[in-house]
Amino acid sequence: MMTRLAAAMHGEVSADTVEAYRRAGGVAYQDMTDAEQLRASLAASGAGLWGASPAQASRLLCAWNAFALQTLGDELVEADYRADPRTVGFLPPVTAEQAAAFLGEVEQWSSRARRAADDTTYDITAEVALPVPLPGWVKVEPCPRAHLDAMLAAARAMRGRTEAALADFIRAEPPQGREDAAARLRGRAAEADSVVAYGEALWSPDASGPVHERVENSLRRGIAAYYELGQLLAMPVLTDRPQVSAVPVAARPLPLPGQAGFDQWCLTDAHSRARWQQDPAACRAIETLWRYDPDPAATVAIQSQIDAAVAAGAVAGETSRGPRHYNCCPWSSIYQVRQPVTIAGQQLRPVQEFTFDVSAEEMGEGGEFTRRLLLGPFHPTTKIDYCDPSDRD
């Protein structure tokens, strides 16, 4: 009771979901240990890491990403618990959101690492554009001091692992013609180390606002650099590939309401569409949604872009956990990005999950029509929302 009261006074939220992710993602540490044993054996061979098969390199890369993300999430939670032991089990909303952003992607990387360990034909590059960037940082001013403690601890852990990976990498001479790539990786490691070391030197518990911000920026840059470096060391052939930029999707718009061929269910997840079409309440909700939409052309244009991205293979119509959909009308698919892409003016990064959130619900209280890409991670729920603007309960 006292913990709940203290958490409520501080505006903190339950950490149940984040803790569930932490428990499930704990396997990432064992996956990393197993991957490091593989890396050591490759380093001891004549060809070194350059000679790893696609499956072996995929295992190393996926295990690294899972480890890094799990470490970041764990450190954020533990740093907050240390800062305020009275509210263990609860987190500031920004901490809960940031930890979930990291931990929410661990499962897909761990599952891929384990698949690569058993499937000698597996190649992660056939699924995702690599290297993938770190999930975005939640915007908050100022950054909580506990976050800086967490970032520093995570950066140190990532530095230690990348130093070990680099040592294994340089044990074997690079293949002829790859000497420049090896030098670039050593340079990236030195740059990441210096950025984090600068933040370490600046940091103190009583740092002033400007210093606090400099530390935050340095640690974020260093963590992002380590995250990418770990992928390149796992799969050094990536250093020769040009960086892929997000490009807008061009698409022919779907038919509009009143036009021939219009499908009022065009926004709904294809795997569950038949279920909703048999639900009278869902049918009414879909009809209401289109009736309230002040600009159906804008809605259809975004869905057309999503459909085109799926057709081109830049976006998957389902996630690594299979087909899933949002719980609110119109029950859009939860998509997963494979290649950097821009949809509705929004840049999306590989492995990011998103859904198309379209709703007239807020209009019942004088609000605006909702039309946006909603980013994950998404959590399972049994709740169904028909988003009726006339329902104000």
Q: Look at 118 and 240; give whichever has higher pLDDT.
A: 118
Band of pLDDT at residue 365, cut at 50, 70 and 90: confident
Token look-up 């001479």 returns 173
Helix residue spans in 84-144 (DSSP H): 93-103, 106-118
Residue 124 lies in a domain: yes
Residue 385 lies in a domain: no
Q: What is the DSSP secondary structure assignment for residue 252, as one 8-state letter?
A: P
The residue out of 182, 211, 240 marking a domain boundary is: 240
Please count the structural domains in the chain.
2
Band of pLDDT at residue 9, cut at 50, 70 and 90: low
196: number of Cβ within 10 Å: 23
Tell me the C-alpha distance between 240 and 226, whole Å. Answer: 18
- Phi then psi dihedrals of residue 371, to 5 deg: -150, 100
Tell me the Cα Rg of the chain: 23
Residue 382 lies in a domain: no
Residue 387 lies in a domain: no
Residue 384 lies in a domain: no
* Beta carbons within 8 Å of 321's beta carbon, 6+ residues apart: 107, 108
> Are 331 and 191 contained in the same domain?
no
| pLDDT > 90 in the chain, percent | 71
Tell me, what's the pLDDT at 3?
Answer: 65
282: number of Cβ within 10 Å: 20
| Tokens describing residue 76 | 């954020």
Average pLDDT of 213-232? 95
Q: Is the model's pLDDT at 273 over the cut of 60?
A: yes
> Are 356 and 215 contained in the same domain?
no
Measured distance between the N- and C-terminal CA atoms of the chain, rounded to whole angstroms? 29
Which range of residues forms the domain containing residue 276?
248-375
Tell me the C-alpha distance between 356 and 333, whole Å. Answer: 8
Helix (H, G, I), strand (E, B) or coil at 354: strand
